[in-house]
Amino acid sequence: MRSQTMSDWDKSVGVIVSEIIMMETSSKGLYWLVEGPSDIRFFEARKDPEVELIVSGGKRNVIGSIQALTTNPVSKRMLGIVDADIDWLLAVDSIPGNIITTDPRDLEGVLLRSSAYGKVLAEFSDPAKVKAFEKNRSCTVLEYVRDIAIQFGKIRAVNDLTNSVSLRRFRPQAFMQKGAWAYDFDSVNRYAIEKGVCLSIDDLEVKIQALPEVDPWNYVRGHDAVNILAGGMICEIGRGGKVDADRIESVLRSGIEEVEFRETKLHRSIAAWNLARSTPTL
């Protein structure tokens, strides 16, 4: 059973706390607080029956709800699961020990690097088109997706380090060149400047160059990568059927093998939390 009493993205910490207190009157189970609906769909098949999944409407609400109930006995049965995002790059406040993060950098990124990615290709792509694309580009489809997503991700990183303006409509498909699986990064940069990420394109480029060199996937926002892959399926490597980001994410969520999931930092963190509280492991 899961909690969904109102819009998944229209909750507050107070609402979430009230939900948990109400559920406590009828059961004394475990509560996993996750960010959004796609997380619910992933963990629904990977939890024990006594675990209540609570969609919290974002990372801040997960952390805020856990903090709000720190002194309540229920806190020992609460686990917050959030995306790592680029917290490694930011001066973020310490978080409670019962909040764990995904492997770099989010759940979608984990799934794209698993065998689930191959199942997405099998479901939606034309093998001959994939082969031709990879030969022409001298890289795999996934490498291309990653490299395009990094360029968007680094702009997001600069924004998070500076002005933190809203980039809600900053989606890769909005900048695709007509009829090709390519992106107009001049327009991408102009959009970022218009939104106030930096004062000028030169300033933006300097700040991007100053970002630390790390595992490239640390800069890849999973939803951007899926959006890019969907664009490729639509215009260049797909077999012509219906495909969009939601369909791709659905295959990714169901496609990761159990043995792969058990090797992730996310699974190890959940198992450690379970062990520390003498509760059944996944």
Q: Among the residues of the chain, which ranges form H helices?
A: 13-24, 37-44, 59-68, 107-112, 116-124, 127-137, 141-161, 185-195, 201-209, 222-232, 245-255, 258-262, 265-276
**Of 9, 5, 45, which Cα lies nearest the Cα of 23?**
5
Domain ranges of the chain: 2-103+264-276, 109-257
pLDDT of residue 220: 98
Can you read off the two tokens belonging to residue 70?
Answer: 């720190």
- Report helix angle 222-232 to 245-255, nearest 10: 110
pLDDT at 5 over 50: no
**Of 51, 103, 113, which Cα lies nearest the Cα of 274?**
51
pLDDT of residue 279: 52
pLDDT of residue 95: 85
208-246 in b/e form (b: 16+ CB < 10 A) is: beebeeeeebbbbbbbbbbbbbbbbbbbbbbeeeebebe
Who has greater pLDDT, 179 or 152?
A: 152
Q: What is the mean pLDDT of residues 161-167?
A: 93
**Of 131, 98, 89, which Cα lies nearest the Cα of 31?**
98
Can you read off the two tokens belonging to residue 218?
Answer: 């640390």
- Count the neighbouring beta carbons within 10 Å of the beta carbon of residue 110: 26
pLDDT of residue 4: 46
Q: What is the mean pLDDT of residues 154-163?
A: 96
Q: What is the mean pLDDT of residues 175-195?
A: 97
* 224 Cα distance to chain centroid: 9
**Residue 9 pLDDT class (50, 70, 90 cuts):** low
Q: What is the pTM of this model?
A: 0.91
CA distance 244 to 234: 8
pLDDT of residue 27: 83
pLDDT of residue 166: 94
CA distance 107 to 115: 14
- What secondary structure letter does DSSP report for 73? G
pLDDT of residue 92: 76
Q: What is the mean pLDDT of residues 162-168?
A: 92
- What secondary structure letter does DSSP report for 176? B
At 43-57, the pLDDT tens digits run 999 999 999 999 999
pLDDT of residue 21: 95
Pairing mode, if any, of strands 99-101 and 78-82? parallel
At 222-249, the pLDDT tens digits run 999 999 999 999 999 999 989 999 999 9
**Of 204, 195, 207, 152, which Cα lies nearest the Cα of 174?**
152
At 61-97, the pLDDT tens digits run 999 999 999 999 999 999 999 999 999 998 777 889 9
Is the bond into 77 cis (omega within 30 degrees of 0)?
A: no
pLDDT of residue 104: 84
159-193 in b/e form (b: 16+ CB < 10 A) is: bbbeeeeebeebbbeebbeeeebbbeeeebbebbe
pLDDT of residue 83: 95
